[in-house]
Amino acid sequence: MGLLSIIVPCYNEEAAVEAFYARTSAVCAKLPAVDVEYIFVDDGSADGTLAVLKALAGRDRRVRWLALSRNFGKEAALYAGLEHARGDWAAVMDADLQDPPELLPELLETVRGGGYDCAAVRRVDRRGEPPIRSWFARRFYQVINKMSKTEIVDGARDYRLMTRQMVDAVLRVTEYNRFSKGIFSWVGFRTKWVETVNAERAAGESKWSFFKLLVYALDGIIAFSTAPLAIASVLGLVFCVVSFVAIVFVIVRQILWGGSAFGWPSLVCIILFLAGVQLFCIGILGQYLSKTYLEVKGRPIYLLRESGGGDSGEKQA
Ligand code: UDP
Ligand code: MG
């Protein structure tokens, strides 16, 4: 017998957790030769999520819960869950049933078979998603894969099952700006992609506004690529060359024809444009600097308020 840890980050999911637990435990009951533990991470929910989790833990000793001291974001919640997992394998899933638990047996077999260290799920369509969002999502994957050496698979969900070895590897990546899709790929190991169709949220609503997703995408690019820094330098170089050519042109024209005092509107345009490019490049620098600043502070990725469930009983952390 081995132990499978199922890690579920929950943020305001009181409406979804029960349904998640019911459907997942029905599937897990049929998993051959494996014990299961659930680790629900309450990511500073403002609703009754924690109460629901405590009630679950009271009914089922396999359920453990962690309550973070505030909302740290899904990535931090995942890290907290992985750190507390005791399993020989760990699966990470969303609480909203968008990650169908029915795939668990296949994922587990894939990893237990020995050929793979990780089985991950990607969706092959984006049905039920606003078209604009899908369009931007696809562009994001194109851009980040051009810019970064770490492969970020389009449609990859954060739904995956890993061996203990890979979990430990992920835990060793202790950066503060966590872009999980990138980290899972960066640590390497052999990953098998299992395909599924998009499932809609079971209850509650998505925590991701378009703006939040945009910021997340930019964070992902900055965390896994330094190409924007190179773009800034290349832009600078290109403009140097262009201005050099322009200077030669102006001098030659002056010598041959003379009298070139006209043209200030074009000058203003050029100055404005160059000022814009400069600010843009400084902005890129600023982005990297701010991330570096946060990393250098070395703050903890998450803080625990309390935890409980399982055999440990309730305790304050
Ligand atoms: N989540 C979290 N902390 C957050 C935001 C989300 O733990 O700050 C959890 C959420 O409870 C869910 C998962 O992350 O289990 C995915 O969130 P959501 O379904 O809102 O994202 P979407 O599926 O729309 O991308
Ligand atoms: Mg969801």
Q: How far apart are CA 81 and CA 94, in angstroms?
A: 12
Judged by its nearest atom, the ligand closest to the C-alpha of residue 43 is 1
| The pLDDT value given to residue 316 | 44
| DSSP states along 67-129 | EESS---HHHHHHHHHHH--SSEEEE--TTS-S-GGGHHHHHHHHHTSS-SEEEEEES--TTS
Index of the ligand 1 atom closest to the CA of residue 8: 15
- Cα of 99 vs centre of ligand 2, distance in Å, is 8
DSSP per-residue letters across 218-269: HHHHHHH--HHHHHHHHHHHHHHHHHHHHHHHHHHHHHHT------HHHHHH
3-class DSSP state of 262: coil
CB 295 within 8 A of CB 177: yes
What is the pairing mode between strands 89-92 and 2-10?
parallel
Q: Give the nearest ligand 1 atom to 12 CA.
A: 11
Taking a 5 Å cut-off on Cβ, the residues next to ion ligand 2 are: 94, 96, 98
Walk across the sheet containing 304-309 and list its strands. Answer: 191-196, 118-123, 156-163, 89-92, 2-10, 34-42, 63-68, 304-309, 315-316
Strands 118-123 and 191-196: parallel
- Pocket mutation for ligand 1, best pick of 8, 11, 17 (most atoms within 8 Å of C-beta): 11
**Structure tokens, 207:** 């925590």
- 142 near 38, Cβ under 8 Å? no
**Sequence-ordered list of residues with C-beta below 8 angstroms from that of 263, at least 6 positions apart, any chain:** none
Mutate to test the pocket of ligand 1, among 40, 74, 127 (most ligand atoms within 8 A of CB): 74
CA 5 to ligand 1 center in whole angstroms: 19
Cα 96 to middle of ligand 1, angstroms: 8
| Pairwise CA distance, residues 54 & 71, whole Å | 18
19 CA distance to ligand 2 middle (Å): 14
Pocket of ligand 1 (CB under 6 A): 9-11, 13, 43, 71, 73-74, 77, 94-96, 98, 201, 206-208
The size of the chain, in residues, is 317
Q: Which ligand is nearest to the CA of 180?
A: 1
Rounded CA gap, 39 and 8, in Å?
A: 6
Q: Which residues pair with 10 in a beta bridge?
A: 42
Residue type, 124: V
Q: pTM higher than 0.85 for the full model?
A: no
Nearest alpha carbon, ligand 1 atom 14: 74
65 with 91: CB under 8 angstroms? no
Strands 34-42 and 2-10: parallel
CA of 206 to the centre of ligand 1 (A): 7
Q: Which residues contact 231 (CB under 8 A, 6 or more apart)?
A: 284
Give the residue, by CA position, lying nearest to ligand 1 atom 24: 206
Q: In a structure prediction context, what are the per-residue pLDDT tens digits for the chain, which is 317 residues long? A: 889 999 999 999 888 899 999 999 999 888 888 889 999 999 999 988 999 999 999 888 899 999 999 999 899 999 999 999 998 999 999 998 888 888 899 899 999 888 899 999 888 777 777 888 888 888 888 888 888 888 888 878 889 999 999 999 999 998 888 888 889 988 988 888 888 877 777 777 777 788 888 888 888 888 888 888 888 888 888 888 888 888 888 888 888 887 666 677 778 888 888 888 888 888 888 888 888 888 888 889 999 999 888 865 444 44
Cα(35)–Cα(37) distance, integer angstroms: 7
Q: Which two tokens stand for residue 43?
A: 């990511």
